Amino acid sequence: MEKAMRRYMPIFVLPTFFAFILGFIIPFVMGIGLSFCEFTTVTDARFVGLSNYVEAFKDTIFRHSFWYTALFAVASLIVINVLAFALALALTQKLRGTNIFRTIFFMPNLIGGIVLGYIWQLIFNGILSRYSTALGLNEWYGFWGLIILVSWQQIGYMMIIYIAGLQAIPGDVMEAAQIDGASRIQKLFRVTIPMMMPSITICMFLSITNGFKLFDQNLSLTAGEPAKMSEMMALNIFNTFYGRTGWEGVGQAKAVIFFVIVVAIGLIQLRATRSKEVQQ
C-alpha cells in the first residue's frame, strides 16, 4: 500500500507543504534571524548580536506590559474557570430549558475580538460617564473591563468542555458515594472535582494562553490607554514594530521572548496532563 501511495506524494503533500513553508517556516526562521539584526527592511539587515534583546529588557513599558499581562492571565483564569464550572454544574441539573441557556452562554464566543471590544467600550463608557470618567483614563478600568469582556466571551466555551467532562463521570461512582452517605459538598470536592481534573487542566491552560496572547480585544477596548499603561504584551510588540521606525529589530526580539514564554506554558501543560493521565 505504501508503495502505491508514494508515487502520488506530490498530489497529496506538496500543496500543504509548499504553503506551510511560505506561511510558517520561512517567516519563523527569518524571525529568529532578524531578532539579532538591526533593520527597517530586510535588505538592510545588519548583525548586532544580542543588543536587541538587551534593548527589549531595558524597555520599561515592555516590562510593565509583561506584568500587566501575567496578572491579567491569572485573574482571567480564575474568574472564567470558577464561573464556567459553576454554570456547567447548574446546567447539568434537571432544569427546564438547559439547552437554550447553553446556547445563549456559548454565543459570545463566536464574535470576533474587534467587534467585542467596541460593543463593550460603548457599555463601559456609558456607565463610567455617569461618574464623569472614562475607560481610557485609568489602567485598572481597562484591566477589569478586559476581564469582564473575556469572561463574557470565554465562559460559554469553557462551560461546554466542563459539561462534556461532567457527563463522562460514570454514574456508579456517584451512586457509591451516595450510598456511603456523602453530603453534596463532599460529593463535589471528593468525587466530582477529582474526576474532572483532565477537563480542569485543559481549561486552565486554554484560558492562561488565551490571556497571554490577547490582542484584538486589547486593541479595540483600550488601545493601551492611558499612555500605554493598559498595553498587553502582544499589543506592545505590535506597536514596537509599527509605531517606531528603527525599532523593528527590538520588536522581533520581543516577539521571540513572547514566543518562549508561550511555549514554556505549553510545555508545563503537557507535563501536567501527562502526569494526570498516569494517575488515572
Partner 1 sequence: MKKKLLSAAGTVFFTVLGLIYIAPILIVFMNSFKEKVYINKEPFALPTEKTWNGIENYLTAINKYDLLSSVGWTVFITVGSVVVILVCTSMCAWYITRVKSRFTKALYLLCVFSMVVPFQMVMFTLSLVADRTRLNTPWGIIIIYLGFGAGLAVFMFCGFVKSIPTEIEEAALIDGCNPVRTFFNVVLPIMKPTYISVGILETMWIWNDFLLPYLVLDLNKFKTISIAIQYMKGSYGRVDMGAIMAALILAVIPVIIFYLACQKHIIKGVAAGAVKG
Residues 75-134 that bind partner 1 (CB under 8 A): 90-91, 93-97, 100-115, 118-120, 122-123, 125-126, 129
- Phi, psi angles (nearest 5°) of residue 189: -85, -30
- The beta-strand segments (E) located in 25-106 are 37-38, 46-47
Q: Does 215 bind partner 1 (CB under 8 A)?
A: yes
Applying CB under 8 A, the span of 7-15, 60-68, 70-78, 185-193 interacting with partner 1 comes to 7-15
Q: Distance between CA atoms of 131 and 128, rounded to whole angstroms? A: 5
Q: Distance between CA atoms of 26 and 33, rounded to whole angstroms? A: 11
Q: State which of residues 75, 147, 166, 262 lies at the interface with partner 1 (CB under 8 A).
A: 262
Contact set for partner 1, span 230-259 (CB under 8 A): 233-234, 237-238, 241, 248, 251-252, 255-256, 258-259
Q: How far is the CB of 63 from partner 1 (least distance, A)?
A: 17
Q: Per-residue DSSP letters for 141-167?
A: HHHHHHHHHHHHHHHHHHHHHHHHHHH
* Nine cell digits for residue 221: 477596548
Q: Does 6 bind partner 1 (CB under 8 A)?
A: yes
| Buried b or exposed e, range 155-173, using 16+ CB within 10 angstroms | bbbbbbbbbebbeeeeeee
Q: How far is the CB of 155 from partner 1 (least distance, A)?
A: 9
Q: Does 173 bind partner 1 (CB under 8 A)?
A: no
**3-state class of 274 per DSSP?**
helix
Q: How far is the CB of 2 from partner 1 (least distance, A)?
A: 5
Contact set for partner 1, span 29-68 (CB under 8 A): 30-31, 34, 41-42
Q: Does 24 bind partner 1 (CB under 8 A)?
A: yes
- The residue among 158 and 229 lying less far from partner 1, judged by its C-beta, is 158
- The residue among 32 and 190 lying less far from partner 1, judged by its C-beta, is 32
Q: State which of residues 53, 57, 144, 152 lies at the interface with partner 1 (CB under 8 A).
A: 152
- The residue among 134 and 191 lying less far from partner 1, judged by its C-beta, is 134
Query: Could you say which DSSP state residue 23 is in?
Result: I
- The residue among 46 and 94 lying less far from partner 1, judged by its C-beta, is 94
Q: Distance between CA atoms of 224 and 231, rounded to whole angstroms? A: 4
Contact 97/219 with Cβ under 8 angstroms? no
Q: Per-residue DSSP letters for 224-247?
A: T-STTTT--HHHHHHHHHHHSTT-
Q: Does 9 bind partner 1 (CB under 8 A)?
A: yes
